[in-house]
Amino acid sequence: MAKKQPQRGRSLPILKEVRACEHCTEHLPLGPNPLVAGRSSARILVVGQAPGRVAHETGKPWNDKSGERLRQWMGIAAEQFYDDSITAIMPMGFCFPGTGKSGDMPPRPECAPMWHERIKKSLKHIELTVYAGRYAIEYYSTKKHASVTAAAADFQNQLPDHILLPHPSPRNNLWLRRNAWFEEEAVPLLQERVAKLITR
């Protein structure tokens, strides 16, 4: 008996519009290259900050050490993470914003209010939203958390619908060492939730 193939879902016309966006061109040192993904069947939505230089150059979001750690936290293989029928990717800023004195610049502020609601309306089957990093947390959290640490510590009240994560950048290694509870307690629950969604 042939194995049933997963439903790919429909492509989203809104993403074609996003990928053609040049609204912030004058502010982007490497020019526009909006990185966003998703199909109508996607069950997981990842809201990060903005693509890094490597992601911009390769045209592949989360294509760096931060992406490797995020996938590890989620317990998801790269092929499932990049399968847009399973995982939708919608950063706070769609293009690489440039590099500042202590890392990448913040996401461009125009992207989220201009595009996010329209994209989310097209993603009708999302059951888990992963918010990674301070900018996503501050924009989307309904609670006024005192810090990223406080937001991440509230994971039991967030799942199964969403979860607020510190940014998975190697720059946060010290935070992870100081907050061992995160990988010991929060990450296993996140992995359990993701596993249920990708194995259905």
Q: How far apart are CA 69 and CA 110, in angstroms?
A: 27
Question: Rounded to whole angstroms, how far apart are CA atoms 94 and 133?
Answer: 15
Query: Is the Cβ–Cβ distance between 66 and 52 less than 8 Å?
Result: yes
At residue 2, the 3 state secondary structure works out as coil
Tell me: the pLDDT tens digits for 37-61?
999 999 999 999 999 999 999 999 9
pTM of the model: 0.94
Q: CA torsion sign, 89 to 90 to 94 to 99?
A: negative
In the chain the domains, ranked by start, together with CATH numbers, are: 28-198 (3.40.470.10)
**Residue 4 — very low, low, confident or very high, per pLDDT cuts 50/70/90?**
very low
- H/E/C letters for each residue in 47-78? ECCCCCHHHHHHCCCCCCHHHHHHHHHHCCCH
pLDDT of residue 83: 97
